[in-house]
Amino acid sequence: MSKQAKKNSANVVNIRNKRATFDYEVLDTYTAGLVLTGTEVKSLRDGKAGLTDTFCLIDKGELWLKNAYIAEYFYGTYNNHNSHRDRKLLLTRKELRNLANDSKEPGLTIVPLRLYFNEKGLAKIDIALCKGKKQYDKRDSIREQESRRELDRAKKDFGKY
């Protein structure tokens, strides 16, 4: 493995919104670019960000990421960014139009799922058109998750003998 490949594999940034798949049923996903400042990119590369309680909003034909947390860069100066500022998301005009039309239906919302850097080094975010789950749906997903864990444990224990 080359030095560059080792360096890239060590700096993998993959920030997930774990609550999104628990609270929402994912209907459709999109990959969008992010408009960031320099200190925000440096904080993201350090993995200091969070997507909990984050949502997307379409305003005047533009898609915005609201309430996303990207920590202030430790070595930043007076040019440091605000950690909870609104960030613009970049989609094609067709994708934006489809997303705007679909999100007008009652009960549907746009939620970020994952924040990462692609192979070119650009910050990308996976967003999804989602429908909220009811309480009994959440219980079902917990039950499925626990049974999957038990099955994995049984497979692991069976492999020892």
pLDDT the model gives residue 128: 92
How deeply is 113 buried, as exposed, middle or buried, from its count of CB atoms within 10 A (0-12, 13-18, 19+)?
A: buried
In a domain, 55, yes or no: yes
Contact 65, 54 (CB under 8 A): yes
In a domain, 141, yes or no: no
In a domain, 44, yes or no: yes
CATH of residue 97's domain is 2.40.280.10
pLDDT tens digit sequence for 53-66 = 888 888 888 999 99
Q: At 105, list the tokens.
A: 């239906």
In a domain, 27, yes or no: yes
Residue type, 129: L
- pLDDT(67) > 70: yes
> Phi and psi at residue 113, in whole multiples of 5°?
-105, -40
pLDDT confidence band for 93 (50 / 70 / 90): very high
In a domain, 127, yes or no: yes
Cα 13 to Cα 113: distance, rounded to the nearest angstrom: 14
In a domain, 120, yes or no: yes
pLDDT tens digit sequence for 123-151 = 899 999 998 877 777 788 888 888 899 88
Domains of the chain: total: 1
pLDDT the model gives residue 126: 93
In a domain, 90, yes or no: yes
In a domain, 142, yes or no: no
Domain that holds residue 94: 8-134
pLDDT tens digit sequence for 2-56 = 455 545 545 678 888 888 887 888 898 999 999 988 888 888 888 888 888 888 8
> Phi and psi at residue 148, in whole multiples of 5°?
-65, -40
pLDDT tens digit sequence for 70-89 = 888 877 777 777 778 888 99
